[in-house]
A and B are shown apart, each in its own frame.
Chain A
């Protein structure tokens, strides 16, 4: 396992899957999962680069912060989604188009 390429490929696949999920899903929670996927792909990349490119541990540090902030983001997001469910009894983002133009 001395090549960086496989990591990059996995990272890119997860990234694209995440973006695809974000665009494709109607469910707000699904979109959040897509976001998590993207962030995790970034984490894979960072850690891989930390190993192969950098001699330090910068990549690992930043991936820890990404994990933490993903958690915080998810917490707030779930709170908002909960409120939406309370008001509209749905979490379908296509229903959220009251404000436009």
Chain B
């Protein structure tokens, strides 16, 4: 079964090729079959491989499929090889499985779009690039996938390119992530330079021997990689692109948020855990970034009116949790939350998409309302997703995954009480804005008539994902509730485990869990009171000057765009404008000028006259002979 691994990334690429080359001729039905089918088969193969992996793990708990050697020159040796271990298996599974449902859903969502096949081509490429990223066994493939993902996000966010605002959002996403990519590329070079190999596993095994803990190079390399990770994963300070990325079609958002793109940063750090462990400083920075991001994004989520933007900020916030977990060294908890998050975030985005489709493409949730009756399936599944996001205790998967992170934020080696407090407070905010969204959208008065009733292609993905958002959490139960550690045991082969250390203080753990649970319930109640029972409290508050300012501040994502505009963009433009003729510019003016002079000088020799040509050859011969005679 393992031998079919190469098909997993190949099929989406194949789908992309077919759709890109013959898309127009295929028609919508066939395009859908190709687009969805390629991912579907990919997912099926992944599941079969996964079963095989669980039942009889390969030797060394990792399977490497070397397809061919791309370049082999001395020590620079690049294999096109896939590396499958527990970590990449989880990612592959989530990408293909969740990706498949999103694709299926898109068939209905995009049915009326004229660029149907182009959409599926991009989506397939997106999934393919992401699979390359997580399965690649060397830095070059990883980087290739990384850039591919960036390119696809650009294409998909700007999918409706006729509206210039979408193009702007796409460019913003591209440029902001590029900032991180540049840092990451330098980091990768640094790794290659230090270890002389591109193979990730070799780097990881060599790292502890070459670098001692706290080595400067290790810190620099990990921080540079972190730069790439925060760019792709929309973490502080590069989180500004993600809310604007909502300009793309909703399934794109689902794909970006759940399965691909934003989780790439999480994968990168988890994959490079061996190096991060050598740089405790960087670990701490990761944790801080995560904690700060989850709070800031949470605040921003409180006041959003666009349903998709709420979800966008919730994603930033949830990825913040994952970073927090990575930073404190709770590797498997981060990956666990990643998986659960993928389920419920995909579910939420697809649900939001169904709502938007039903509301004439209206995205302002305050213009909606009372949709619970009209769209029952959407409502129930959306509720499940929201519950999971808000980490409603015991019944939802999100509770188990988030609880693990909150607990480790305190108890793990790198954790402390401040991180824990931030995480707990973040959980409270999350519950609040999530259910604010639910209450505003589904309850109260129906304001817009329902224009589109979803068919099975929307319902089935919603139900399947809802199932996982509910029950997916039971594969990993905390120490206080049976200590069932299927998931982290599974990951143990790829990521260092730390559960044994962390589950000592049982009473504290109980306290943490109960507090989180209670806060989640309270936040839901609060949202119920403020947005359904007595909405005047909110309006009263926002009518005051302070309230209005605060609302505006939160709405703009805590003013980061404003800040960057003043901090970077304007000074940069100013410098560029006022300083047109500096030394560097002169250099760049001089270079083309010189090249042009050379061109004219050389083209003078091309006179078109045969006799001069003959003379040239003769002179060349004479000069050559002179050289050898003199030497």
Is A23's CB under 8 angstroms from B606's CB?
A: no
Asked whether any CB of chain A lies closer than 8 Å to the CB of B618, the reply is yes
**A75-101 Cβ-contact flags toward B at 8 Å (1 or 0):** 000000000000000000110111111
B607 proximity list for chain A (CB < 8 A): 97, 100-101
Is A100's CB under 8 angstroms from B606's CB?
A: yes
Asked whether any CB of chain A lies closer than 8 Å to the CB of B611, the reply is yes
Is A19's CB under 8 angstroms from B609's CB?
A: no
| A31 to B615 CA separation, bound complex (whole angstroms) | 13
Is A101's CB under 8 angstroms from B606's CB?
A: yes
With contacts A19-B618, A101-B603 taken as known, whether A93 is within 8 angstroms of B608 at the C-beta atoms is no
Asked whether any CB of chain B lies closer than 8 Å to the CB of A22, the reply is yes
B609 proximity list for chain A (CB < 8 A): 93-94, 96-97, 100
Residue of A nearest to B602 (CB): A101
Is B610's CB under 8 angstroms from A96's CB?
A: yes
| A31 to B611 CA separation, bound complex (whole angstroms) | 10
Asked whether any CB of chain A lies closer than 8 Å to the CB of B614, the reply is yes
Is B608's CB under 8 angstroms from A23's CB?
A: no
Is B614's CB under 8 angstroms from A22's CB?
A: yes
- Cβ of B299 to closest chain A Cβ, rounded Å: 66
| A96 to B607 CA separation, bound complex (whole angstroms) | 11
| A94 to B615 CA separation, bound complex (whole angstroms) | 14
| A100 to B605 CA separation, bound complex (whole angstroms) | 9
A97 proximity list for chain B (CB < 8 A): 607-609
Number of interface residues of A (CB under 8 A): 13
> Which applies to chain B's interface (DSSP): helix, strand, loop or mixed?
helix
15 residue pairs of the A-B complex, CB under 8 angstroms, read A22-B614, A23-B611, A23-B615, A23-B618, A26-B611, A93-B609, A93-B610, A94-B609, A97-B607, A97-B608, A97-B609, A99-B608, A100-B608, A100-B609, A101-B607
Of A19, A31, A100, the most chain B CB neighbours within 10 A belong to: A100
B611 proximity list for chain A (CB < 8 A): 23, 26, 93-94
B610 proximity list for chain A (CB < 8 A): 31, 93, 96
- Cβ of A34 to closest chain B Cβ, rounded Å: 9
Residue of A nearest to B599 (CB): A101
| A22 to B615 CA separation, bound complex (whole angstroms) | 9
**B591-613 Cβ-contact flags toward A at 8 Å (1 or 0):** 00000000000010011111100
| A92 to B457 CA separation, bound complex (whole angstroms) | 79
- Cβ of A24 to closest chain B Cβ, rounded Å: 8
Q: Which residues of B contact A (CB under 8 A)?
A: 603, 606-611, 614-615, 618
Residue of B nearest to A24 (CB): B611
Residue of B nearest to A34 (CB): B614
- Cβ of B623 to closest chain A Cβ, rounded Å: 15
Q: A23-B618, A100-B609 are in contact. List 8 more A-B contacts (CB 8 A).
A: A96-B609, A96-B610, A97-B607, A97-B609, A101-B603, A101-B606, A101-B607, A101-B608
| A66 to B149 CA separation, bound complex (whole angstroms) | 63
Residue of A nearest to B607 (CB): A100
Residue of B nearest to A28 (CB): B610
A100 proximity list for chain B (CB < 8 A): 606-609
Residue of B nearest to A22 (CB): B614
| A22 to B611 CA separation, bound complex (whole angstroms) | 8
B608 proximity list for chain A (CB < 8 A): 96-101
- Cβ of B619 to closest chain A Cβ, rounded Å: 10
Residue of A nearest to B621 (CB): A19
A99 proximity list for chain B (CB < 8 A): 608
| A98 to B608 CA separation, bound complex (whole angstroms) | 7
A23 proximity list for chain B (CB < 8 A): 611, 614-615, 618
Residue of B nearest to A20 (CB): B618
| A98 to B607 CA separation, bound complex (whole angstroms) | 9
| A100 to B611 CA separation, bound complex (whole angstroms) | 13
A19 proximity list for chain B (CB < 8 A): 618
A93 proximity list for chain B (CB < 8 A): 609-611
A26 proximity list for chain B (CB < 8 A): 611
| A23 to B618 CA separation, bound complex (whole angstroms) | 9
- Cβ of B12 to closest chain A Cβ, rounded Å: 49
- Cβ of A101 to closest chain B Cβ, rounded Å: 5
B615 proximity list for chain A (CB < 8 A): 23
| A30 to B606 CA separation, bound complex (whole angstroms) | 23
Residue of A nearest to B610 (CB): A93
| A22 to B614 CA separation, bound complex (whole angstroms) | 8
B603 proximity list for chain A (CB < 8 A): 101
B606 proximity list for chain A (CB < 8 A): 100-101
- Cβ of A50 to closest chain B Cβ, rounded Å: 24
Residue of B nearest to A19 (CB): B618
Residue of B nearest to A100 (CB): B608
Of A93, A94, A98, A101, the most chain B CB neighbours within 10 A belong to: A101
Residue of B nearest to A99 (CB): B608
| A19 to B614 CA separation, bound complex (whole angstroms) | 9
- Cβ of A57 to closest chain B Cβ, rounded Å: 29
| A74 to B607 CA separation, bound complex (whole angstroms) | 26
| A93 to B610 CA separation, bound complex (whole angstroms) | 7
| A26 to B609 CA separation, bound complex (whole angstroms) | 11
